[in-house]
Chain A
Amino acid sequence: MEPIIEIKSLSKTFGEGQNQVEALRDVSLGINPGEIFGIIGLSGAGKSTLVRCINLLEKPTQGAVLFHGRDLMGLKEKHLRLERRKISMIFQSFNLLEQRNCLDNICFPMELAGIPRKQAREKAMELLHTVGLPDKAKAYPVQLSGGQKQRIAIARALASDPEVLLCDEATSALDPKTTDSILKLLKTINRERGITIIIITHQMSVIEQICNRVAILDAGAVAEIGAVEDVFRNPQSRAGRRLVSPAMPLPVDESIPMARIAFNGNASSDPIIASLTLDLGVKVSIMGADTRNVDGKAFGTMLISLPEAEEKKTEILRYLNAFDGVTAEEV
């Protein structure tokens, strides 16, 4: 499958001399059509810069951005503007036009495209229904809650019939429940309209909830990239492990042998640790855990202590690895 967006050895450097910041270093990514792709990283990792490079709001210092195989950097300003209509964007701060009501906000991209006013209004009304706010047509942004503003922003983003939707921390300003409903909406849009979605976030929960694939950005470089499940089950990079189990203290006391258990979402609801102690007659203590339940499946990691004896360790690891959706390794 040919990627809809391909980022090729992209670098971005801000400033000069002493103040120089290398925000992105040799980033390469391919986004497949129809997928929901997550980009996660700690604050300052360069996520926003990366997503802004995709529609060239930020001009990369080096590298290329291909949209349908075509280099966007090679386009004339006018053609770039036309391409941008196919790549919509939503933001953490919503960025609605505050002096326009919701309906007119949604009409804005259609106004730019020269769509007749009446037709634009009809479509805007439909989109208001899509995002579940048909009664807010005449309301002004100031009268809306954060979640409602983001819904309007999503409707506005959809108005130009985009092929790609870029979301830069679109849920970071919202409470967990509202975040959840916005993510559900994005998922529906992805499924029903086949729009490719790229989500930037620093919340692992957002990634696990709706993304198919994820790239972990660490200090401007891609630390790892893969299917969400794989990255969750077994993060390869240090940045990955930090993000997957941020609450987990790294073993400070090197002398205690420990095992890391990863749940990849296929584990049954068996009480694994309880069975372990009962079946093998060993006592282990949980050193740290960061697991969560997604759609009734366990995701996350757990750190347990192991006995000193080598054969006991192997026995425990073998026992744990026999469970579906569970991987255990000594760390």
Chain B
Amino acid sequence: MTETITALLESWGVNKAAEQVSFLFDPVNIPFAIWETLYAPLCATLFAYLIGLPLGILLVTGEEGGIRPLPKSLMGLINTIINLLRSVPFLILMVLVFPLSRLILGTSIGTTATIIPLTVAAAPYVARLVEGSLREIDRGVVEAAQSMGCSTLQIVTKVMLPECKPSLISGATNATITILGYGAMAGSIGGGGLGSIALMRGHGRGQTVVMYVAVILLVILVQIIQSIGTRLCVKTDKRITHK
């Protein structure tokens, strides 16, 4: 089988066909790359939510006229930090964060090491996504909860988060896909995964076929994540009656 494909590629004039085919059909290379592609971004998404979810909640509840207003100066500070982090291009942020990765993980290269910059880049983005979702809630519903004697914490856990669940899920899908994209970029400077393969082998060593295969696999991964997210979102949303 591999020989047939090699012959076919060579007949099309593709360079280094044998090398590329043997790389692609190796039982480890591609599956491992897929794992690397997913592992760092998924971990980063998780950590980003650990930081971004509370921050997003704070952005909504703490604002002037929110359910638990915080000092204006504090809100201003949080907003500024988020905006700052969001405006630094990811690749630059990644380089800036190298020392932090080294401090926490002892290394700044390798797939695991990219989790740190990915988290730092994604947390403020997640905070804004969560903020956006929570803002969709009807003020009246929050007010009704307050009139029933809900505490601030109860409003967040029993009203805001459950009522915004579909929107939060769709936000999380977006976040995962975006972080996956960042992860592919991170691959180019020290990370692993499909992004790194496409760049290093495809672009760097002229292995065009490998590059296309890597890109197609990335597209498929994104499609899968998106459809899982959409399905979950629709399934949890009780406002949609016809399912």
Contacts and interface: CB of A to CB of B under 8 A. Distances in A.
Interface of B is mostly: helix
Nearest to B142: A95
Interface of A is mostly: mixed
A171 interface: no
B148 A142 contact: no
Interface in A28-69: 55, 57
Interface stretch (B87-95, B158-166, B188-196): B158-166
Contacts of A84: 146-149
A260 interface: no
Given A97-B163, A98-B163, A140-B239, A88 B143 contact: no
Contacts of B227: none
A299 interface: no
B238 A101 contact: yes
Given A97-B141, A97-B163, A111-B158, A160 B148 contact: yes
A123 interface: no
A141 B240 CA distance: 11
B146 A57 contact: yes
B154 interface: yes
Interface residues of B, number: 25
B138 interface: yes
B138 A112 contact: no
Nearest to B148: A109
Chain A's interface size range is 20 to 34
Contacts of A98: 141, 163, 238-239
The listed residue with most A CB atoms (<10 A of its CB), out of B140, B236, B238, is: B238
B230 interface: no
Contacts of B140: 91, 93, 95
Contacts of A101: 238
Interface of A: 55, 57, 81-85, 87-89, 91, 93, 95-101, 108-109, 111-112, 140-143, 160, 166
Given A87-B147, A91-B140, A95-B140, 19 more contacts: A55-B147, A81-B150, A88-B148, A89-B144, A91-B144, A93-B140, A95-B138, A95-B144, A98-B239, A99-B163, A99-B238, A108-B148, A108-B158, A112-B148, A112-B149, A112-B150, A112-B158, A142-B239, A142-B240
